[in-house]
Amino acid sequence: MKAVVLAAGRGQRLGELTNSRPKPMIEINGKPVLEHNLEMCRKAGVHDIYINLHHLPDIIRNYFGDGSKYGVHITYNYEPNLLGTAGALIPFKNELKNEPIFVIYGDNYISFDLLDLKLFNEKMNADISILFHWRHDINNSGMAEFDSNGQIKKFIEKPISTSITDGWVNAGVYYIERINILSIVNVKDDFGFDFFPKCLSKGLKLFGLKKDIDLTPIDTPDLLSSSLEKFKKN
């Protein structure tokens, strides 16, 4: 099995904390967030991992190497100019071929069994399945409208609303059944803003798996501080 782990973001909202390291290399519970994600992949039987890089790429390359230390094989792609989150898959198209893949946002600390998403996708006979988790603060989060079976009808990317305070939001974990779907991706495409709505417009079946999971956001200094405090207590 294969996975693409997105690790190119700068993490600008973290300010000085990412001046000397990429955001996915921030440590949570004793390890870089990216390391937790690689371990999650390996536990699900993923052996080939593809990582995109941009900000301070050598820090990630030097830390993880070829991945053999973690029981996986890592292929990197450096983006001199930052691609979209979906566009980041284009340089790996030849390696990914026509196999199903997981896509994981490498700067989220998440505790989840990836095989649950794969099994859900098979059950729903979906083209793409997306993990959603319940969040009490939906600010800057991607949401969706579902039918009664969990099929996604519309994406609501990062809504700004004073009337909605919590809801099911995109957890940044995807299972793509048919890799040839990526033939419709452009290099600047974002998953939520561009690629997923494009898939819906072409009649593809996208489903959302709603799970109560442990996802620890580290997007701002305050969120990071709260997350670190939570693990100290545990």
Q: What is the pLDDT along the chain (234 residues), one digit of tens a residue?
A: 999 999 998 777 766 767 888 999 999 888 999 999 999 999 999 999 999 999 999 999 999 999 999 999 999 999 999 999 999 999 999 999 878 999 999 988 898 999 999 999 999 999 999 999 987 665 656 778 899 999 999 988 655 554 555 678 889 999 999 888 888 999 999 999 999 999 999 999 999 999 988 777 776 666 666 656 655 555
**What H or E segment, with its residue span, contains residue 116?**
helix 114-124
Q: Please choose, from the candidates 86, 56, 88, the residue with its C-alpha nearest in 3D space to the C-alpha of residue 75.
A: 88
The CATH number of residue 174's host domain is 3.90.550.10
Task: Record the tokens describing residue 8, joined without a space.
Answer: 């190119």
pTM: 0.91
Domain count, the chain: 1
Task: Record the tokens describing residue 167, joined without a space.
Answer: 């809801």
AA identity, residue 18: T
For residue 49, give its domain range: 2-233
Distance CA 141, CA 195 (A): 16
Pairing of strands 167-176, 128-135: antiparallel
